[in-house]
Amino acid sequence: MADPALRHYLRNKEFVLAPGVFDLISALIADTMDFKALYVTGYGTVASYLGIPDAGLATYRDMLERIAQIVKRTTHPVIADADTGYGGLLNVRHTIQGYEDAGVSAIQMEDQEFPKKCGHTPFRRVIPLEEMVRKIDVAVNARRSDDFLIIARTDSRTGLGIDEAIRRGKAYAEAGADVVFVESPESVEEMKMVADAIDAPLFANMVNGGRTPLLSEKQLTELGYAIAIHPAIGFLSAGAALRRAYADLLQHGETSADIDLYDFSEFNTLLGFEDIWAFEKKYNEVG
């Protein structure tokens, strides 16, 4: 079931800052910290699982299996990327029910044509506004609990301009979306235009190296945003750390003191080895 905490935060205007997680290691580490939610990034999950671009190649099943395991092993509300709903209206209903059954607290669904593309890359095209409104209507009616939030994303800014993006955002809110996500505005002024025009909780995508200015929690709150995700921070920092560590190993033939490693015993604790060892001790003694 969805965690009601996320809806509570929005209702009480408590800003939600969510780090991007892309596998179980990143999710377990983020879960030890005092974030209000975790964000399962499509880009990072597809990259870590398949090693390919986030370009509509991963399937509903590919994503659901990984998202469900992240939800199972963490304690925070999980916001999860669901691309376009993986197809037409029937697919959207199936996706909503599957994500809700997995315990996801909020699902992000976008108005791109299939196959979709990552939101901060070129050549994205969107479906007609009316078609996305129907998808939102299906999504709202398919969920079993109002605690399962529908985040409606529009990717129209890059190809059709900020005015069209705002028009769509307003229509998606009117259609019943709990949160509106205008993807990749290109300036603080555009972000303010979005916040001034759309009467709904707003979602900001803070992508390191992306099209949108990177703003602090304080700045986003002042603009009127309710949720900010940082989807790339996990996989970009992990990639940088791995490149340094592997290069160091190649150069020295061993791990030098220059490399900062997660303590092995703490990593065992993170994964839950103590429970395994306690089980084995108990039943070895019985045997």
CATH assignment at residue 209: 3.20.20.60
Q: Omega into 122 within 30° of 0, i.e. cis?
A: no
* pLDDT in the model for residue 54: 86
Residue 262 located in a structural domain: no
Residue 276 located in a structural domain: no
Residue 273 located in a structural domain: no
What is the C-alpha separation between 169 and 179, in angstroms, rounded? 9
Rg (CA), the chain: 20
Residue 217 located in a structural domain: yes
Range of the domain at 104: 5-238
Q: How many residues does the chain have?
A: 287
Tokens encoding 131: 């078609």
- Torsion sign (Cα): 205, 206, 208, 214: positive
What is the C-alpha separation between 196 and 58, in angstroms, rounded? 36
Residue 191 located in a structural domain: yes
Structural domain count of the chain: 1
Residues of the chain short of pLDDT 50, as ranges, are 287
* pLDDT in the model for residue 116: 72
> Whole-model pTM?
0.94
- Element holding 39 (H helix, E strand): strand 38-40
* pLDDT in the model for residue 55: 84
Residue 87 located in a structural domain: yes
Tokens encoding 162: 């900020």
The 10 Å Cβ neighbour count of residue 29 is 16
Residue 261 located in a structural domain: no
Residue 278 located in a structural domain: no
